Amino acid sequence: MPGPDRRLFRLIHLDTLPTLLKRGGLHAPNVTPADGLPYRTIHNANVQASRSARGIPCGPGGMIHDYIPFYFGPLSVMLLNLHTGRVAGYTEGQAPLVYLVSSIARVTAAGRPWVFSDGHGLAALTSWYDDEADLDQVDWELVGERYWADKPEDNDRKRRKQAEFLVWQHLPWQAVDAIVVLNDEMRARVQSILAAHPMLAATVKVAVRRNWFY
């Protein structure tokens, strides 16, 4: 069964990285500091409106927007939609998108409460959990797959691909141990941003993983 070292993946726009470093971590939408720092959104506005009203039935409770969402694998449905121009207002493709990588163990070590789902957070069939003993409810083969379309013999694949791990309210930067990018140009740009924050940069690796992108 998957253990607490299971990796977690959050997708952000490169332009948002300086803000996260200045804040010293990540914040959920409902507790974002009112500091005026820019945040480059890459999300579908209609989906976000629905998530703001969806309650979490376990753990600390609250709404989805009280949490920072991660996926259990790369190559998310969200990334494909951004890559193919299916998110209104976003036209830059996948090149400026970067992964922040953490793990269940790092989140727990940071003392942050969490919950997870076995599928898309808005789907009626999705169940929520707050115990590591229930991690076997996640479809571990599917969450890392490049091809996840529904099939006649299994029309629930897309929902299960989008299983989420949600961190309550905020997560310190020290829980992020890697940043993964599409190419060498993006790696250089990330390293340039990190250079302005040497104390935080010392704890994170920057790597190119072309196979984590479409």
Nearest to 69 by CA among 3, 168, 190: 168
75: left (phi over 0), alpha (psi -120 to 50) or beta: left
What does the DSSP 8-state code read for residue 55? Answer: B
Would residue 51 show up in a list of annotated catalytic residues for this protein?
yes
Question: Which of 38, 60, 73, 205 shows the shortest CA–CA distance to 148?
Answer: 73
Distances (CA, A) of 88 to 16, 44, 81, 82, 108: 19, 7, 10, 9, 35
Cα separation, 199 vs 22, whole angstroms: 12
Active-site residue (options: 6, 159, 160, 164): 164
The reply to whether 209 belongs to the active site is no
Catalytic residue among 6, 7, 10, 51: 51
Beta bridge partners of 128: 117
CA atoms of 214 and 207, how far apart (whole Å): 17
Positions marked active-site: 51, 164
